[in-house]
Amino acid sequence: MEVTRRSGSLGEARKTNVRTPDKIEVIMSAVIADPDLERSLIRRRRARGEDRYDEVWEGVYVMNAQPTNVPQSLVSRLSFVFESVIGQLGLGMVLPGTNVSDRAESWKKNYRCPDVAVYLNESKAINWETHWQGGPDLAVEIASPRDARGRRSSSTRASARANFSSLIVIRGPSNSIA
């Protein structure tokens, strides 16, 4: 990367090669205590379709970044494999993302969205069309460095509350598929 710096009393420009990272990623959390601002942000995200990966954890709205191409590709590949061996054989339902809650009503106050969910035919979970009450027989979470909400540590605890039978957490660099 080439950076132009100004130096000297006359402010002459000199070109200097400076080694800098191509991409600096800042991960941070924010707490919004203003209810009006919170409603406004959520409305704006919904209007723009940016809320697809948002979740509510026991009443706390968690805004998630859109996944990059690599995790989306992995979700697609895993969904295809599970669909091939479970869905197409009529053994259950495979979903690349779905709403999972511990309740039938007021489910939007506490729900998660695993990246891939597998519900077998004999599952005890109830399909309410808008969401599942009860966890999937298998859930896959793809954790990446972009996960600002601390998904690495929180997803296991959150999933346990949603009664996931089995949880696979895939961790790795955001720019490679392992």
Domain extents in the chain: 2-171
Give the total residue count for the chain: 178
Q: Which amino acid is at 93?
A: M
Q: Which CATH number fits domain 2-171: 3.10.50.40, 3.40.1410.10, 3.90.1570.10, 3.10.20.30?
A: 3.90.1570.10
32 φ, ψ (degrees, to nearest 5): -110, 110
Write out pLDDT tens, residues 141-160. Answer: 887 665 544 444 455 445 54
Write out pLDDT tens, residues 37-56. Answer: 999 999 999 999 988 888 88
The dihedral built from the CA positions of residue 78, 157, 130 and 127, taken in this order, carries a sign that is positive
User: Containing H/E element for 170?
Assistant: strand 167-171
* 94 DSSP β-pair partners: 118
Model's pTM, two decimal places?
0.67
- Report which of residues 67 and 93 the model is more confident about: 93
How many DSSP H helices and E strands does the chain contain? 3, 12
Write out pLDDT tens, residues 107-123. Answer: 999 999 999 999 999 99
SS3 state of residue 101: strand
